[in-house]
Amino acid sequence: MKKVFALVDCNNFYASCEQVFAPRLRGRPIVVLSNNDGCIVARSKQARALGIGMGVPAFEAEDILKKHHVEVLSSNYALYADMSGRVMETLSTLTPRLEIYSIDEAFLDLTGMTEDRQDYGHTIRDRVRKWTGLEVSVGIGRSKTLAKVANKLAKRSDKADGVLDLTDSPWLDRALEQIAVEEVWGIGHAGAKALQGRGITTARALRDADIAWIRKRFGVNGVRTVYELRQMDCYPIDDNPPAKQGVTVSRSFGQAVEQLEPLCQAVAAFVTRAAEKLREGRQAAQHMTIFVMTNRFSRVGRYFNSETIHFPRATGDTGELLGRAMECVRRLFRQGCRFKRAGVILQGLVDENKVQGLLFDPVDRARSGRLMRAIDGINNRPDLSIRWAAQGLEQPSWQSRCCRRSKRYTTCWSELLEVS
């Protein structure tokens, strides 16, 4: 039986999440800023039409933002993550097999479905809109790559109305002709340049390319991409994604940090969050890297340094991680430096149930596990939390700027939507 894949992609996801809870923003140009209100990381359709670029520093776009009265918002990742979960839960009711590809994209397996696929695409759109308030585009094809192609065209075409089915379509050649080779899933910038140098500028030209040359130049992954464009599925639905290989928590500071104590508190907060993510995935880390840096654009006093710790036994204990992290920060700190960013990277992740033990382990692991579970359980309750003393008790001066952040409508009791 021939496979059928659908790619469901949320339209302008961050901006759309904001519009769900603030109807006044609908139809208006919106941009969402990165951590510390630095760069533009999301734009509504109206903002893109004004020529506002992705990744542009906010201060560089200040004139056009003011001229066109663009709504500027700080990133609200708690809201976006929760809305993503709601979308994926909705999609899981529409297919027996689902692969979450990113925060706003998922592949659905529609193989064997007897219903008209174009109509089913609209059913998907309608249900997601009704249950979450978000708009999605649906692309359907015989492979994941073709589903991606269909999704791109579904977004661009008013006639498609957000849904395009390219399975057994007489318009497939024409569709592939409209996709530039650099837009094909899996073709990076360097790969696109190599293909263009050989006269391969569209997805159709790539599909018809010489396989022997593709194999020699791009290896097996390049061959798979060509076969996928030829309606042969090479990438099945992965409904059991591999475990994370690493966890990173890093932030830019709202204002430069010059003293050791606030730097320690910032790193302690990052380590605490990284450890929580580790336990959420039921994993433990064998290595931890702490890094600190000043403003990389500064012409004087620039400083970057890092230190990696190797644990004799993989751990997910926040207290154990914090103890070693604080030792690192004290060694990395330099008097007179204005630190602008710091972070923690946990690597060498293993299943917490498959950790190699130590014959003479100084830590009571059973007690440690019970303590971490108890703390996580308390911190998962609404408006209740336990903080580690290393994080400090006062509002941190280093906290990233997010003065334009909307309320966390779906995850914080004190910020629930109010209706007059």
State the number of CA atoms in the 13 A half-sphere of 346 facing the CB. Answer: 30
pLDDT band at 143 (very low <50, low <70, confident <90, very high): very high
- Only one residue has tokens 């990742």, namely 77
Sheet strand arrangement including 304-315: 246-257, 339-351, 283-294, 304-315
Out of 62, 79, 96, a domain closes at: 79
Q: Is the confidence at residue 418, as pLDDT, over 90?
A: no
Residues 71, 85: one domain? Answer: no
Residues 299, 372: one domain? Answer: yes
C-beta neighbour count of 253 within 10 angstroms = 22
CATH of the domain at 156: 3.30.70.270
Residues 99, 147: one domain? Answer: yes
Out of 55, 79, 103, a domain closes at: 79
Instruction: Report if residue 397 sits inside a domain.
Output: no
Instruction: Report if residue 240 sits inside a domain.
Output: no
Give pLDDT tens digits for 153-174: 999 888 888 999 999 889 999 9
Two structure tokens written together for 318: 């926040």
Q: Is the confidence at residue 366, as pLDDT, over 90?
A: no
Rounded to a whole number of angstroms, the CA Rg of the chain reads 24
Q: Is the confidence at residue 194, as pLDDT, over 80?
A: yes
* Structure letter (DSSP) for residue 396: P
CATH of the domain at 25: 3.40.1170.60
Residue 22 CA to residue 28 CA, distance in Å, equals: 11
Give pLDDT tens digits for 236-274: 998 777 777 899 999 888 888 999 999 999 999 999 999
Residues 354, 262: one domain? Answer: yes
Contact 237, 369 (CB under 8 A): no
Task: State the pairing for strand pair 105-109/136-141.
Answer: unpaired
Instruction: Report if residue 410 sits inside a domain.
Output: no
pLDDT higher at 172 or 414: 172
Residue 378 CA to residue 396 CA, distance in Å, equals: 22
Residues 380, 285: one domain? Answer: yes
Number of folded domains that form the chain? 3
CA nearest to 203, candidates 138, 141, 122: 141
What Cα–Cα distance (Å) separates residue 58 from each residue in 27, 34, 36, 169, 293? 21, 9, 11, 43, 22
**Burial of 69 by CB count in 10 Å (0-12 exposed, 13-18 middle, 19+ buried)?**
exposed
Residues 321, 380: one domain? Answer: yes
CA nearest to 379, candidates 367, 394, 391: 391
Residues 223, 91: one domain? Answer: yes
Two structure tokens written together for 420: 């007059």
pTM of the model: 0.82
Q: Is the confidence at residue 87, as pLDDT, over 80?
A: yes
Give pLDDT tens digits for 97-129: 999 999 999 999 999 888 899 999 999 999 999
Task: State the pairing for strand pair 283-294/339-351.
Answer: antiparallel
pLDDT band at 293 (very low <50, low <70, confident <90, very high): very high
315-329: average pLDDT:
95
CATH of the domain at 352: 3.30.1490.100
Q: How far is CA 380 from the centre of its chain?
A: 22
Instruction: Report if residue 252 sits inside a domain.
Output: yes
Residues 28, 87: one domain? Answer: no
Q: Is the confidence at residue 138, as pLDDT, over 70?
A: yes
Q: Is the confidence at residue 218, as pLDDT, over 80?
A: yes
Two structure tokens written together for 296: 């990389």
Q: What is the domain extent for residue 47?
A: 13-79
Task: State the pairing for strand pair 246-257/163-165.
Answer: unpaired
Q: What share of the chain in percent tops pLDDT 90?
A: 67
Mean pLDDT, the chain, as a whole number? 91
What's the pLDDT at 384? 64
Residues 206, 285: one domain? Answer: no
Residues 141, 205: one domain? Answer: yes
Instruction: Report if residue 408 sits inside a domain.
Output: no
Instruction: Report if residue 22 sits inside a domain.
Output: yes
What's the pLDDT at 207? 95
What's the pLDDT at 416? 84
Residues 179, 253: one domain? Answer: no
Q: Is the confidence at residue 382, as pLDDT, over 70?
A: no
CA nearest to 107, candidates 70, 47, 147, 73: 147
C-beta neighbour count of 411 within 10 angstroms = 15
What's the pLDDT at 36? 79
The full DSSP string for 3-70 is: --EEEEEETTHHHHHHHHH-GGGTTS-EEEE-GGG-BEEEE-HHHHHTTPPTT-BGGGGHHHHHHTT-
Instruction: Report if residue 405 sits inside a domain.
Output: no
Out of 79, 100, 125, a domain closes at: 79
Residues 286, 310: one domain? Answer: yes
Instruction: Report if residue 344 sits inside a domain.
Output: yes
